[in-house]
Every structure is written in structure tokens, then in C-alpha cells.
Amino acid sequence: MNFLHTLSTVLFIVSFHPFTRAKPDTYIIHMDPSAMPKAFSSHHSWYFSMLSSISDTSEAASASSTVTSKHLYTYTHSINGFSATLTLSELESLKKSFGYLSFTRDRPLTVHTTHTSQFLGLNSVSGAWTAPNYGEDVIIGIVDSGIWPESESYSDEGMAQVPTRWKGKCESGTNFNSSFCNKKLIGARFYNKGLLSSHPKLTIPMNSPRDINGHGTHTSSIAAGNSAKGASYFGYASGTANGMAPRAHIAMYKVVWRYGTYTSDVLAAIDQAIQDGVDILSLSLGLSVDNNVLDDDPIAVATFAAMEKGIFIAASAGNDGPLYWSLVNGAPWMLTVAAGSIDREFDGILTLGNGVQITFESLYPGNFSRNQMPLIVMDECASLEELRQVRNNIIVCKDHLSISDQVENAESAMVSAAVFISNYSYLSELHTRSSFPAAFIGLDDGQTVIDYIKQNSDPRGRFQFRKTSIGTKPAPKADAYSSRGPFLSCPNVLKPDILAPGSLVLASWSPVSEVTKVGSHPLFSKFNLLSGTSMAAPHAAGVAALVKKAHPDWSPAAIRSAIMTTANPFDNNLSPIKDVSNFNQPASPLDIGAGHINPIKALDPGLVYDATPEDYMKLLCAMNYTSKKIRMFTKLSHDCMNRSLDLNYPTFIAFFNDDGLSTSADKFEQEFQRTVTNVGKEGMAYTAKVTGMDGIKVMVEPPKLVFKQKYEKQSYKLRLEGPKLLKKDVIFGALSWRDDAGKYMVTSPIMATTITSHTVTHS
């Protein structure tokens, strides 16, 4: 391959209609822009001419209308190109066109579905929310399911004027017009041409930026929602809901629809967001793990272009945990966000007739009589007929069947209330959000209930619900659903980057989208409690807005570094953060990245690890990307003369790969080089300290860094030495640079591992 090629890549998306398929397929076609004839004034006109020349339509009179109907989008900022609907023969003709490079299939994506601000230490007295840093003048672009503009979270009370640099707008559509925008919600657009291309007979009832799903309203209010008083989920989590950056501006790009989400639409949204002038992009969606390859992921390519223009990207890690290698959105120019719990629990109480109380997790929203009811043990609750005969009692089910089957049987029998005894250490939110009064308890509490029933001739109990506890410990924990690293397409960069609140987060919601049921009756609310890395990513995006406000000239890499190196690896018991899925053992960097996000410290990190687009190019070159693939990412020429897998990243990961022939005497060595920039005051000195790394020798040279000036750079090397045969699959620790005055501790996780892509579970 010729790595001296100096031209950038033009990309466009097409979907074709094979004669044997009813639905179109969508493809991303990469073209060499130098192939555009000089006769064309723009790529847009060239694309239209190309569509006309390869069209199957023989009637000249209809050629113009045919091209117009085929064309979907023209991309000019994220990826140069366009979208079009083509037959199979037209696609084959296109492949023969001068300048054609390659294609990939356009694929559907999935979404990774108030107290959190206080849990993160944000308040108006001390911390990041001290004037003038509420995220003023920062613009956060949200690519999601739209927005419910009437929500109190989008009030522009206290907001500054719309930045003069803003080029976006509010598009009109079904039940939505530009008057819904204000100084808080400054942009709202919608994209569904890719969706309609794949489903040509589809009718979209809410063809506008308005959110009837709820997901986009939820994520955007987490990132930058204004204060919303009286927020709660049917009495749970009552209080005032605030976004992470309550004075930042919001621009919504609706791409998530009830009928699907398509890459071509997401690309159009990112392309427009770059042109509009957003500062931060929050993405709570992604491809499946099987399809998440950097050069085959248009979102990774598009966000590279955003990064080149100084836009910070926060993206959800995915909800396919706790398996290793399940992480998505792991491009090294993104902040990849894992999800954890917060110090808040939602409970119900079962009070037995003898006064013993058993507390259990619950989100049951209905009213329930406090009068005592008979308790009846129904063993495995397998017979609907038997359950119907006792449905006016509190039935007790033992975990012999699937707990989901037992819940379904109880619902079908319309029982008044139930107790489910299970040995599951981690219950799904779907169970705690039951449609009827129910307690999900463990074996120990279950035995207490069983013993009470056996020892009494008339055993009774009563339920109470809507209990919210604040300050629970330990918190946070890495939740089981959060996808784990490494990132299969770029394992040399440790992912995820950070842990942020993602479990049962209260935020604004679309009031026309059902949140739960009581019996068969749907319930609606202006607020909802949701879990997922979808909720974690906008937390990080909002914190990035605070850092951006404090340091408007910082690069996306510097902002990411500030967030990562100031993260907290400890919970509120001052112990290492635990992993729910691994029997509450300490979480590794593959679970939580650098640790739990800390907005206050991120504003003043002391040192940062910066990186330029050129640094990412060196990484891609070292990953043996071809000239064609390199040109997919950047418009700049790159000859790949300099290659390095050692990106200037604030983490370290080494694969002690065993070849199967190693002995206990065989050694493994790896050296890393990093450069840090002093963003504190002049005259600072830092000393290195390494913790953890059991059985691995860690050397840092030099062990002390002295900075005479602000923005001065210093480099160091970190060397790992150890046996190829590690004691465990994953060994981790940290390198901390501490300044002599004790103000800063700049910390980076270190990890040595023997896991391969075939290793999926914790050992």
C-alpha cells in the first residue's frame, strides 16, 4: 500500500433494493475526493451527477426526479459524502466508478438504556457549581430520541444569551415549532431518511424533534437540565432534579425512533452538530459488539472528525456486561463511560405479624393497604389454578423455577401481593419494578419468613412502599450490566475510561411515554428512573462542559485526561470500588476505568496527558491500517512514517500473552512513555508513587518531575517486568504523581493481563 497518499476520503451511504429482497440495504461507500472532476463546484453536485449516470431509469425525463428520490443526505463535516437508495445493479456500477475505495454496510444501532449531582459533590455552596462555572456558554449536542421541550428542565430561567457562534436551529415538525426553543434549548433537529429508506411503507406519527420515547429527554436533562423542583418517581427520589451543567445550552438531534435507529441518520446528525458548533457530543447509543470495528464503524470515523474540530465526545460503553470484551464505543478519541450505582436505595418493607421487618428493593408505584393479610407458602408457584384460589393473600414463592416465570404466573393469576425468595445476588430492575405489590428477598430473609409462617397458625404480613434511603454504603459499585473492556478493536488503549452514575437515575421524561404499570393500568410521569450506560454518558458530558467552561482552550484529550486522572477509585467507605457481578470483589480498570468521576477535582487536575489527531494517526498506523483505511479517518495527509501503539493516554495496559510454552522462569517486559503538561502554577514538582501490581515490578524514570513554567511539558517512562505466567488473569494498580505541596494527585490505572478475546468471564 502507498502510505504517501495525501488525499482525504469522501464517504457516502447507499441502500440498495435487491430483486429478491423487499427491504433496502444500506451501505457506506468510501470515495477518493481527488477523483471529482474539476467541472463540479461541489461534491454535492458530483454525487447527483454520479447518481444520474448509474441510474437504472432509462427515461431521461424522469432522471432528475429519480436522483432526487434516491438521494438522502449529503455529509460535509463529519464524513464527506452522501446517502442514496440504489438497486443492486446501480451499486455494482458505482463500484466501478473512478475514485471508489470501499464500502461497509450501514447497520442499526441500539440505545444503551436528581440526586446524582449531590452524590458527585456538586452544589451551589462549594464545588464545581460556584459562579461563574455552571457550564455557561457551553453547547452540548445530544444524539438521541428527541426532547419534550415543555419540561421544567428546559426552562431558560437564569440562562445566558445564545452564543453568537451558534449556527444551529429548531426545525418544525409534528407538534413542534421553533417557538419551543429558548436560551436553554437552542437547537432541535430530526433525521429519519435512513429509517424510511429501510422501511419505505412506514408512517412516522411524531415526525419532529418531539420525544415520545423519553430516552432523549432523560439523557439531555442529566447532562444539562435546569433545576426542576418537585421531581420524583411516584414518591420515590423526591427533590429537585439538576443536570450536571445546569447553565449549559442543549441541542437535540433526534435519530432514535420507535421503529429503529440507523447509522446513516446518526451520521447526518453528527455531521450537522459539527457544522452547528456544539462543544460537547453525548452519545448513548452504539453498534453491537460483533460489529464494533473502528474502520467499520461510521460513528467512530465521524467522531474523529468532531475531535479534530475540538469537540469532546462522551459515549456509553454498552449494556452487555459483565463479560470481558463486551465494550463498544471504545475509539481512543472518545471518553468511554461505564455505569455504576449511587448512594441511594428505593425500598419496600414487609412487616410480619410478630413485628419483624424485612427491607427489600422496590419501585412499586401503587398505593397498598397497610392492613395485614394472610401469608401462604405456594412453593414454586407453578400452578396458575392454585394461585388463583389464593390470590387475595400474600403468596410466598420459593426459587425452584425461574423467578421471571414465577412473577409472570403471579401476574397472570392476579394475586394481591407476593414474596419471591431467591438466591440471586443481583435482581433485575424489571423485577423490582413489578406491576403488583411484591418483595424480592434473599435466602436468609426468606428463611425468616418461612419459619414465621411455620410457627404461627394465622401468619400475616403487610407491605409499605415508596421508601427512599440516601447515603447508603458502599457506593458506588460497578453494575453488572455495564460492558467491560478491553475494546476488541483497539486493545492497546485501556477501556472503559471512567465510571459515572448509571443505575436508577432520576431525570425528566416524556409524559406521553408509559413508565410502568399497576395491574393492567399504564402509568405516566414527567420523571423516570432508568438504568444503563445511556445514563452514565450524559453525566460525563455534563462534567466535560464544566471543565470546558473553566478551560475553554483545552483540547478534547486534555479534558478527558482531567476527568480520568482525578477520578476516585474508592467508594464512600474509603475502600476500593466493588464489582457487583464478581461477588463484590474490587473492581478492575476493565470494569471502571480510572474510577468514579469527580467533577470538583477535574476542574483543576494539575497535570494533563494531551494528544493530537497526529498521535491517533500514529496509533492507527501501528495497528497496520492501510492507506485507504487511514484516509477514512482524516482529511490530512499521513505517510505512516511514525508509528506507535503507545498513545499518550492516562492509562497503561500490558498483555502478558502466554504462548502455551512459557515456564515460571520466563519473563515479560513492556515499556511505556508518557508526556504530561503542567496546567497548575509555575514551580511545581511531582513525585511518582506506584500502588498495587502484585508480582509485577514497576519502575518509573525519572521518579520526579519538576516544572518551572505553566504549560511546560515533561516526559517519563514506565516499565513493567514480570513472569509471563501471571498469578491471575488481571493484575492492576496505579501510578500517582503527587506534588510536593500535597494539592494534586494525578493518578493513572496500570493493568497487566493474560486475557484474550476468548476470555469472557472473570476468573
- In this prediction, residue 505 carries a pLDDT of 95
CATH dotted code for 606-611+647-759:
2.60.40.2310
Catalytic annotation present for 215:
yes
Residues facing residue 737 across a β-bridge: 688, 746
Give the three-state DSSP class for 490: coil
User: Residue 381 to residues 21, 210, 326, 358, 426: CA-CA distances in angstroms?
Assistant: 46, 44, 35, 21, 21
Q: Which CATH class is domain 344-469?
A: alpha beta
Four-CA torsion 193, 199, 200, 203, nearest 10 degrees: -80
* Contact by Cβ (8 Å): 56, 90: yes
Residues 346 and 364 sit within 8 Å (Cβ to Cβ): no
User: Comparing C-alpha atoms, which of 438, 385, 439 is closest to residue 413?
Assistant: 385
Q: Which CATH number fits domain 116-341+478-595: 1.10.150.120, 3.50.50.60, 3.40.190.10, 3.40.50.200?
A: 3.40.50.200
Residues in the chain: 763
Q: Which of 144, 497, 615, 729 is catalytic?
A: 144
Looking at this protein, which amino acid is placed at residue 189? R
Q: Which three cell numbers stand for residue 76?
A: 460535509
pLDDT of residue 488: 92
Among candidate residues 215, 218, 249, 539, the one labeled active-site is 215
Is residue 285 within 8 Å of 256, Cβ to Cβ?
A: yes
Nine cell digits for residue 280: 460537547
Phi/psi-derived region of residue 566, left when phi > 0, alpha when psi is between -120 and 50, beta in every other case: alpha
Q: Establish whether 534 is a catalytic residue.
A: yes
**Would you say 229 and 157 are in contact if contact means Cβ atoms under 8 Å apart?**
no
Helix (H) or strand (E) holding 54: helix 43-54
Ramachandran quadrant class, 153 (left: phi over 0; alpha: psi -120 to 50; beta: rest): alpha
The answer to whether the CB of 378 falls within 8 A of the CB of 387 is yes
Query: What whole-number distance in Å separates Cα of residue 198 and Cα of residue 24?
Result: 5
Residue 242 makes CB contacts below 8 A (sequence gap 6+) with 114, 117, 122, 225, 226, 227, 228
Q: Considering only CA atoms, which of 679, 689, 663 is closest in space to residue 712?
A: 679
Domain coordinates of the chain in residue numbers? Answer: 25-105, 116-341+478-595, 344-469, 606-611+647-759
Distance in angstroms (rounded) separating the CA atoms of residues 92 and 76: 24
Domains 116-341+478-595 and 344-469 share a fold: no
pLDDT of residue 121: 66
Catalytic residue of the set 282, 326, 434, 534: 534
Q: How far apart are CA 615 and CA 308, in angstroms?
A: 11
- Catalytic, 144? Answer yes
DSSP 8-state symbol, 227: P
Phi, psi of 152 (to 5 degrees): -60, -20
pLDDT at 11: 38
Question: Helix/strand/coil (H, E, C) string of 408-463?
Answer: HHHHHCCCCEEEEECCCCCCCHHHHCCCCCEEEECHHHHHHHHHHHHCCCCCEEEE
Per-10-residue mean pLDDT for the chain, 763 residues long?
A: 32 38 58 79 82 64 62 82 78 77 76 64 56 82 98 96 97 96 98 92 95 98 96 93 96 96 95 98 91 82 95 97 94 98 93 95 85 92 94 89 85 94 68 87 94 96 92 95 95 97 96 92 95 96 97 98 98 96 95 97 97 95 87 78 95 82 78 98 96 95 97 98 88 97 96 78 56
Helix (H, G, I), strand (E, B) or coil at 614: helix
pTM for this one? 0.91
- What is the three-state SS of 103-166? EEEECECEECCCHHHHHCCCCCCCCCCCCCCCCCCCEEEEEECCECCCCHHHCCCCCCCCCCCC
